[in-house]
């Protein structure tokens, strides 16, 4: 039996909805998640959890749980390009295994100055962890379809298929994916670009979740996390799912290929074409999807209604940004809704959600589109598979191009860490300008509006692990402030950190964003009151 009342009703139990439930539930807010599916995703879906998302999982205490998922801990997370998987290797971008990543991150600085490195893992596994943690603090119901909702004067009434009573809530959040009922009910249109046609990742895509038991025995190349085939017959990307035998194969259908006519046998054949050998392929699931979107909704919220994740933006998956952007939406909205519901902030704070996240959605969909253009508009020459000098030359040229592309698409600290909320009403600018942004380089800065510079402290702890769950005042100089329930004080006397932050004090928001910095601690407290509206 579904409850009659809740504070926040979340439509959709994908990554965005589950993460929002965790952020709200941990703050004592009553959140209810309803999802029409029987459970979390069966298909692998997204493949990459970016470093910033991993930092949020660390903040919530389950980054190690996520990093233990997916492939074995010593499995390389390389990105490798082949004509066909059992034929010529064209290029390889080497990346560490999850065991190596955990050690490596404590030694890195500059662009990769971070608490966590990315983790390559299928979304289906991450969703299981998110669900487990969400269920500890919120009410999660799968198998329930939201049909409609009505905005009343001081609450929302939602109708659910098969439920005899409406559910009343203070807020409703649509984390309900690309066909979002909540977005459509509000009449908020997607803007941007759709229907882009490319040789690859621009058109109708066919996904085959499959088991290839002999892949690692019969394919004569070092294992990789991401396998990309580059030939004129069958282009695909195929990430490893468990590092043993499971893969998520995605190809683009040619003009003459009709998805309705593709049966299991044909799906198997498409995978074999990419391998270049008739290895046995067991099909676990098949689906179609469209690549070529870079869409952002015109509104992300108004009054008591908000949307986040794919409901608010649709990506082409190059760059691996869709699910990560969805998680960051939830992180951003979670603390704001909780502050307002607890009476600790004015409802005006909620307007900053759209301001901040819409800007980031436009930024990230634009980057994803650029990667899709770079990969999808680069076409194999007719001789790419020939055993002739022309074939060798074609493969060398393709390898050089794909190596550069791979470095650009899969080494993106600038995108991951460089997202900023300049100009937001929830940021107090100090008049300085941040360093200019670039995809593959990130310059740490405490200029208000961005991620706080990270540091490993002399005792081996991450600076982020010292931050509180709500607001934190990082004190890099002496002060006589006392902590309160609303403000956690972190006192670190470290000249290097003082230089890195460029001020004696920095106010860090609950979503680990610098809200203010300066040399007068009292001004920091005033900024906190002001920013909460
Ligand atoms: C092939 C592929 C590869 C990808 N790779 C990456 C990647 O590497 N990195 C990355 O960041 N992203 C990637 N993505 C994108 C990623 O999968 C999505 O962006 C992500 O799932 C969005 O999460 P979400 O929670 O917003 O929505 P969803 O995961 O779509 O969840 C929405 C939920 O809402 C439920 N729902 C919908 N309507 C209703 C209703 N009326 N009532 C109740 N429930 C409802 C649905 O059942 C669903 O469970 C990839 C996508 C594809 C297709």
Take residue 241 and report the two structure tokens written for it. Answer: 């799912």
Q: Is the CB of 289 under 6 A from ligand 1?
A: yes
Residue 238's nearest CA partner among 81, 65, 451, 354 is 81
pLDDT at 485: 76
Q: Which atom belonging to ligand 1 lies closest to the Cα atom of 181?
A: 41
Q: Is the CB of 15 under 6 A from ligand 1?
A: yes
Contact 440, 374 (CB under 8 A): no
Distance separating the N- and C-terminal Cα atoms of the chain: 38
The pTM score is 0.97
| pLDDT tens-digit map of 380-415 | 999 999 999 999 999 999 999 999 999 999 999 999
Q: Is the CB of 365 under 6 A from ligand 1?
A: no
| pLDDT tens-digit map of 353-385 | 999 999 999 999 999 999 999 999 999 999 999
Q: Which atom belonging to ligand 1 lies closest to the Cα atom of 127?
A: 29
pLDDT at 16: 98
Q: Is the CB of 321 under 6 A from ligand 1?
A: yes
Q: Which atom belonging to ligand 1 lies closest to the Cα atom of 12?
A: 34
CA of 364 to the centre of ligand 1 (A): 16
| pLDDT tens-digit map of 123-148 | 999 999 999 999 999 999 999 999 99
Name the least confident of 73-87, 146-160, 474-488: 474-488
SS3 182: helix
pLDDT at 496: 93
Whether 277 shows a pLDDT value over 80: the answer reads yes
| pLDDT tens-digit map of 494-524 | 999 999 999 999 999 999 999 999 999 999 9
Calculate mean pLDDT across residues 453-471.
Answer: 96
SS3 289: strand
Those residues whose C-beta lies under 8 Å from the C-beta of residue 485, and which sit 6 or more positions away, are none
Q: Which atom belonging to ligand 1 lies closest to the Cα atom of 37?
A: 47
- Mean pLDDT of the residues in the chain: 97
| pLDDT tens-digit map of 299-340 | 999 999 999 999 999 999 999 999 999 999 999 999 999 999
Those residues whose C-beta lies under 8 Å from the C-beta of residue 256, and which sit 6 or more positions away, are none
Confidence class for position 30, pLDDT limits 50, 70, 90:
very high
Those residues whose C-beta lies under 8 Å from the C-beta of residue 247, and which sit 6 or more positions away, are 209, 210, 211, 212, 215, 227, 238, 239, 240, 241, 271
pLDDT at 480: 87
Task: Report in angstroms the alpha-carbon separations of 114 from 48, 54, 55, 109.
Answer: 17, 10, 8, 8
Contact 175, 17 (CB under 8 A): yes
- Give the DSSP letter of residue 240: B
Percent residues over pLDDT 70 in the chain: 100
pLDDT at 25: 98
| pLDDT tens-digit map of 174-230 | 999 999 999 999 999 999 999 999 999 999 999 999 999 999 999 999 999 999 999
Calculate mean pLDDT across residues 78-82.
Answer: 98
> Mutate which of 13, 41, 45 to test ligand 1's pocket (most atoms within 8 Å of Cβ)?
45
Contact 2, 295 (CB under 8 A): no
Residue 56's nearest CA partner among 513, 525, 531 is 513
CA of 175 to the centre of ligand 1 (A): 9
pLDDT at 55: 98
- Give the DSSP letter of residue 143: S
Residues pairing with 49 in the sheet: 119
Q: Is the CB of 241 under 6 A from ligand 1?
A: no
CA separation for the pair 209, 246 (Å, rounded) = 7
Confidence class for position 50, pLDDT limits 50, 70, 90:
very high
Percent residues over pLDDT 90 in the chain: 98
CA of 177 to the centre of ligand 1 (A): 5
Whether 416 shows a pLDDT value over 90: the answer reads yes
Whether 424 shows a pLDDT value over 90: the answer reads yes
């Amino acid at each position: 039996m579904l409850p009659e009342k809740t504070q926040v009703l979340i439509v959709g139990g994908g990554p965005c909805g589950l993460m929002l439930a965790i952020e709200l539930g941990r703050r004592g807010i009553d959140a209810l998640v309803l999802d029409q599916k029987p459970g979390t995703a069966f298909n692998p879906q997204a493949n990459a959890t970016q470093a910033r998302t991993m930092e949020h999982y660390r903040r919530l205490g389950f980054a190690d749980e996520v990093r233990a998922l997916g492939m074995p801990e010593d499995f390389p997370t390389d990105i490798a390009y082949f004509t066909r998987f059992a034929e010529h290797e064209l290029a390889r971008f080497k990346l560490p295994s999850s065991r190596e990543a955990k050690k490596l991150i404590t030694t890195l600085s500059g662009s990769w100055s971070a608490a966590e490195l990315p983790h390559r893992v299928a979304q289906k596994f991450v969703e299981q962890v998110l669900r487990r943690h969400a269920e500890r603090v919120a009410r999660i119901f799968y198998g329930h379809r939201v049909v409609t909702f009505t905005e009343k004067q001081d609450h929302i009434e939602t109708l659910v298929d098969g439920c005899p009573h409406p559910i009343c809530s203070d807020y409703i959040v649509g984390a309900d994916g690309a066909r979002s009922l909540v977005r459509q009910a509000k009449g908020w249109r997607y803007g941007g670009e759709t229907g882009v046609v490319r040789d690859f990742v621009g058109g109708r895509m066919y996904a085959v979740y499959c088991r290839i038991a002999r892949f690692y025995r019969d394919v004569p190349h070092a294992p990789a996390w991401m396998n990309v085939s580059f030939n004129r017959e069958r282009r695909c990307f195929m990430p490893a799912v468990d590092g043993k035998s499971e893969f998520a194969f995605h190809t683009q259908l040619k003009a003459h290929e009709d998805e309705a006519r593709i049966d299991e046998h044909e799906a198997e054949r498409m995978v074999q074409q990419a391998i270049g050998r008739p290895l046995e392929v067991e099909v676990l699931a098949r689906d179609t999807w469209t690549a070529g979107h870079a869409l952002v909704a015109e509104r992300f919220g108004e009054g008591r209604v908000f949307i986040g994740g794919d409901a608010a933006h649709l990506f082409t998956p190059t760059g691996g940004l869709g699910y990560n952007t969805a998680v960051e939406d939830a992180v951003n909205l979670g603390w704001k809704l909780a502050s307002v519901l607890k009476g600790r902030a004015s409802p005006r704070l909620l307007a900053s959600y759209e301001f901040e996240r819409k800007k980031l959605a436009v930024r990230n969909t634009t980057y994803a589109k650029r990667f899709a253009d770079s990969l999808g508009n680069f076409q194999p020459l007719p001789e790419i598979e020939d055993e002739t000098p022309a074939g060798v030359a074609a493969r060398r040229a393709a390898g050089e191009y794909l190596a550069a592309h791979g470095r650009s698409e899969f080494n993106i600290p600038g995108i991951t860490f460089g997202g900023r909320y300049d100009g937001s009403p929830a940021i107090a600018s100090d008049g300085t300008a941040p360093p200019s942004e670039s995809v593959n380089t990130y310059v740490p800065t405490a200029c208000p509006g961005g991620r706080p510079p990270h540091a490993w402290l002399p005792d081996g702890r991450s600076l982020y692990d010292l931050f509180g769950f709500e607001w934190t005042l990082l004190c890099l100089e002496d002060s006589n402030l006392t902590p309160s329930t609303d403000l956690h004080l972190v006192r670190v006397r470290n000249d290097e950190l003082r230089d890195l932050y460029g001020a004696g004090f920095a106010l860090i928001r609950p979503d680990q964003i610098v809200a203010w910095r300066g040399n007068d601690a009292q001004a920091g407290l005033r900024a906190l009151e002001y920013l909460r509206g």
